[in-house]
Amino acid sequence: MDPNHKVAEQEALEQLDPLASVPTFQGALGRLIRWVDTLFTVLAVLALVAIAGTVLLQIAARLFLPFSISWTEELSRYLFIYMVALSVGVVLRQHRNVSVELFHHTLGLRARAVFQVLICLLIAGFAWMVLPHAWQYAMNGAWQTSPTLKVPMLYIFFSTVVMFALLLVYGAIGFLEGLVAIFRSPERPDAETP
């Protein structure tokens, strides 16, 4: 890839998302994290495709069959819940969550890293506090089954455990990346010396 193109791409990304300028982990750890990101992204996309297939099946059944399929609405709801739970970590890591950006673009690289550290610390701390309660909530579903699919609700309620566990892990990763950026990065990424 052309180095000028890479610099232009980084500048465009910075304008859209100022926190993207905070460097991420590189090397073997960075590759592992990117592989895990890809895994959860693929799982979330598969859930989205399954939702689309389920809804299309429901529509086709209502149009072309003399009866409607009752389990499609319930399955699409559960797939949506898991799609959100599986994608929440990657959304946090890529700074795609809903946020108010009033001043991010005016901050230098270290200040952006400090901001990322604070946000990730708050998110990971919240997830740490809620995770035991999410586990208790999931265990409530052990003796219940879903109305039409007859699936133990433990599997559905377990999505809260998955979501808060991923928020905890990805919050910790963002916190550590921000700390490394604070102490090792120059003020501007293009000021690095080879």
Under a CB-based contact definition with an 8 Å cutoff, are residues 93 and 168 in contact? no
Q: Is the pLDDT of residue 83 over 90?
A: yes
Helices 71-93 and 27-64: angle between axes, nearest 10 degrees: 160
**Position 71 confidence tier, pLDDT thresholds 50, 70, 90:** very high
**Which pLDDT value is given to residue 14?**
57
pTM for the predicted model, two decimal places: 0.81
pLDDT digits (tens, 9 = 90+) for 33-58: 999 999 999 999 999 999 999 999 99
Question: What are the extents of the domains in the chain?
Answer: 29-184
Question: What average pLDDT does this structure show over 69-83?
Answer: 94
**Which pLDDT value is given to residue 132?**
96
**Position 191 confidence tier, pLDDT thresholds 50, 70, 90:** very low
Q: Is the pLDDT of residue 20 over 80?
A: no
Look-up: residue for tokens 């859930």?
A: 47
**Which pLDDT value is given to residue 162?**
97
Higher pLDDT, residue 73 or 25: 73
Name the residue among 48, 47, 75 with its Cα closest to residue 61: 75
